[in-house]
């Protein structure tokens, strides 16, 4: 029942007792008011695997915990969204978020980009399988029905989970790839986006880091700078996300968190999804990157931007200053 990563703020609770936790949750939700503090104390300090055991214990005595929390009215707002997310297995939560991003009018492209650009091949394959089981539809069909053009082609490529995940770097090929990307963008009128797709969505991370170095030598610019100059909208966003995740995934998520909270208003969907999905994977690294990039702690940002029980549960997931 260990955590799914080793750089998270949420770690396995010692002396874990699923039945005792189940009883605490039942008490917290009984009667007129809900004791959110107890719910936070239990769920924010258990791993996903431990939370599944709590769900099993609850099911044996009362019924489905997720169903109850979704429909009973004992939780509401952003606090409810965090709690529901914490109770799902990682690929189930990703599939749920992707589904919500495509439900109804309009699409939250940023969610599709964030999840598909940052997950491994194995994770993407599991998400696709869960999506089919949960919603009775292929994720690729859902994405194709909601997106178009070259942006759609990039997402479909990411969904195919075909990236080379070896450590092999072909020096000659790296130079060739850099040259071809340069010739497909900066060196011509108009942009051949297919060339960007074939290199950025297929080659392995180590190889691409060499490609980015070579690109800098050839063009005198960072690849990110060229993507911003050559592309726009969701296509620009997805290519930038791919490059950022390859360079430094923790920095990518730190930036997502910062942008969700800076300025007027908070993009709670992004804040919640990032805090829930990274809490037991790499939140320690994301916090360190946040401090380095913005000169303030993630904890202080969350504290200043949220309130009530929602704030309390996020701060627990953040793991202190």
DSSP letters, 177-196, are HHHHHHHHTTTSSS--HHHH
Structure confidence at residue 191 (pLDDT):
77
CA distance 220 to 213: 10
Report residues of the chain scoring pLDDT below 50. Answer: none
Structure confidence at residue 189 (pLDDT):
67
Identical fold for domains 18-75 and 249-318, yes or no, is yes
CA distance 261 to 185: 33
Structure confidence at residue 288 (pLDDT):
97
Pick the CATH number of 90-160 from 3.10.580.10, 1.10.220.10, 3.50.50.60, 3.20.20.70: 1.10.220.10
Tens-place pLDDT, residues 272-294: 999 999 999 999 999 999 999 99
E strand intervals along the chain: none
Structure confidence at residue 119 (pLDDT):
97
Q: Domain 171-247, what architecture?
A: Orthogonal Bundle (1.10)
Scanning the structure block, which residue is given the tokens 């960072």? 222
Structure confidence at residue 62 (pLDDT):
86
Structure confidence at residue 112 (pLDDT):
97
CATH of domain 18-75: 1.10.220.10
Domain residue ranges in the chain:
18-75, 90-160, 171-247, 249-318
Coil, helix or strand at residue 104 = coil
CA distance 306 to 91: 27
Per DSSP, 12 falls in state P
CATH 1.10.220.10 holds for 249-318: yes
Q: What is the helix (H) or strand (E) element at residue 120, kind and residue range?
A: none
Tens-place pLDDT, residues 46-68: 999 999 999 999 999 888 888 88
Scanning the structure block, which residue is given the tokens 């995940």? 165
């Amino acid at each position: 029942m260990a955590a799914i990563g080793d750089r998270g703020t949420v770690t396995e609770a010692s002396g874990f007792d699923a039945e005792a936790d189940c009883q605490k949750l039942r008490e917290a939700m009984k009667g007129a008011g809900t004791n959110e503090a107890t719910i936070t104390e239990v769920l924010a300090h258990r791993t996903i695997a431990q939370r599944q055991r709590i769900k099993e214990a609850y099911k044996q005595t009362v019924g489905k915990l997720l169903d109850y929390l979704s429909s009973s009215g004992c939780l509401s707002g952003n606090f409810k969204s965090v709690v529901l997310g914490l109770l799902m297995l990682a690929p189930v939560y990703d599939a749920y978020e992707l589904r919500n991003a495509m439900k109804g009018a309009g699409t939250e492209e940023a969610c599709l980009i964030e999840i598909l650009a940052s997950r491994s091949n194995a994770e993407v394959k599991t998400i696709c399988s869960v999506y089919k089981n949960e919603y009775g539809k292929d994720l690729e069909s859902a994405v194709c029905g909601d997106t178009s053009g070259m942006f759609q082609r990039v997402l479909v490529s990411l969904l195919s989970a075909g990236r080379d995940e070896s450590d092999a770097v072909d020096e000659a090929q790296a130079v060739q790839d850099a040259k071809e990307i340069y010739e497909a963008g900066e060196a011509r009128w108009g942009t051949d986006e297919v060339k960007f797709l074939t290199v950025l969505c297929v080659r392995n991370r180590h190889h691409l880091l060499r490609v980015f170095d070579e690109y800098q030598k050839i063009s005198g610019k960072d690849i990110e700078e060229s993507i911003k100059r050559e592309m726009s909208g969701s296509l620009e966003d997805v290519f930038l996300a791919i490059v950022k995740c390859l360079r430094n995934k923790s920095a990518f998520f730190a930036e997502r968190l910062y942008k969700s909270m800076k300025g007027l208003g908070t993009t709670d969907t992004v804040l919640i999804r990032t805090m829930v999905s990274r809490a037991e994977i790499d939140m320690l690294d994301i916090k360190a990157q946040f401090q380095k990039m913005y000169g303030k702690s993630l904890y202080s940002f969350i504290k200043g931007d949220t309130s009530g029980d929602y704030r309390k549960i996020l701060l627990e997931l953040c793991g202190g200053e």
